[in-house]
């Protein structure tokens, strides 16, 4: 039996990227890894329901109720034997203490072509609004390793998406998810899992 990399997904909301990963695992796009844990920093996040429906163990860690928030996350991830961590709409900036503990093992998907429209304050619809305000013709998504600098880690994969006339931040967000995020996130996770299991 070939060992699979153990994947933990950190979520805060609806979990559409988590669903893309669950689907990719079912379809065999992710074959060298297995999602074994989903942690939410928001109670009642719909992502937890998606995880439960897929038979994946879930945990909730609320920052304001947890004196050592990152310490608790590290503890849960270590207990799970986590190899790869995916931030899927995880709305909490992680410090160097956390990122250096899992160097080159934390992946994030950002809804623009880094280095455009990224860094502190650029998240959710704000990213798409900024792209439209600037008038760029092409945007997209980037999967990158996470370090202590927001959106500052090494890029793993990018995919471009064209901006259409009449786009709103909402229509653009949906297209970037469907045409870029949900494609390159599973592919990047598989790439990193393969490197870990074969390395």
How many whole angstroms separate alpha carbon 5 and alpha carbon 151? 24
Q: Three-class SS of residue 94?
A: coil
Other CB atoms within 10 Å distance of the CB of residue 120: 9
Please list, residue by residue across 84-116, b when 16 or more beta carbons sit within 10 angstroms of its beta carbon and e when fewer do.
Answer: bbbbbbbeeebeeebbebbebbbbbbbbbbbeb
- pLDDT, residue 145, reads 98
- pLDDT, tens only, 40-53: 999 999 999 999 99
Residues tagged active-site? 110
- pLDDT, residue 1, reads 60
- pLDDT, residue 183, reads 98
- pLDDT, tens only, 14-37: 999 999 999 999 999 999 999 999
- pLDDT, residue 143, reads 98
Distance of CA 137 to the CA centre of its chain: 25
User: Does residue 191 contact residue 105 with C-beta atoms inside 8 Å?
Assistant: no
Strand partners, 86: 9, 107
User: Does residue 169 contact residue 132 with C-beta atoms inside 8 Å?
Assistant: yes
How many whole angstroms separate alpha carbon 113 and alpha carbon 94? 21
Record the pTM. Answer: 0.95
CATH hierarchy code of domain 5-109+143-157+182-198: 3.40.50.170
Nearest to 118 by CA among 109, 173, 17: 109
| The pair of three-digit structure tokens given for residue 36, joined into one six-digit string | 């074994």
- pLDDT, residue 2, reads 73
Residues of the chain with confidence (pLDDT) below 50:
none
């Amino acid at each position: 039996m070939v060992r699979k990399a153990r994947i933990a997904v950190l979520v805060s909301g609806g979990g559409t990227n988590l669903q893309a990963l669950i689907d990719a695992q079912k379809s065999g796009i992710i074959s060298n890894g297995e999602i074994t844990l989903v942690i939410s920093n928001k109670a009642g996040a719909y992502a937890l329901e998606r995880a439960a429906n897929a038979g994946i163990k879930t945990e909730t860690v609320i920052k304001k109720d947890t004196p050592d928030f990152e310490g608790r996350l590290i503890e849960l991830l270590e207990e799970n034997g986590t190899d790869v961590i995916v931030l899927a709409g995880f709305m909490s900036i992680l410090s160097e203490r956390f990122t250096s503990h899992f160097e080159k093992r934390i992946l994030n998907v950002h809804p623009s072509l880094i280095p455009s429209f990224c860094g502190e304050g650029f998240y959710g619809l704000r990213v798409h609004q900024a792209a439209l305000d600037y008038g760029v013709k092409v945007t997209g998504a980037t999967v990158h390793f996470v370090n202590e600098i927001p959106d500052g880690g090494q890029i793993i994969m990018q995919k471009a998406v064209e901006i259409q006339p009449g786009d709103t931040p909402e229509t653009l967000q949906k297209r970037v998810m469907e045409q870029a995020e949900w494609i390159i996130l599973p592919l990047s996770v598989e790439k990193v899992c393969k490197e870990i299991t074969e390395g």
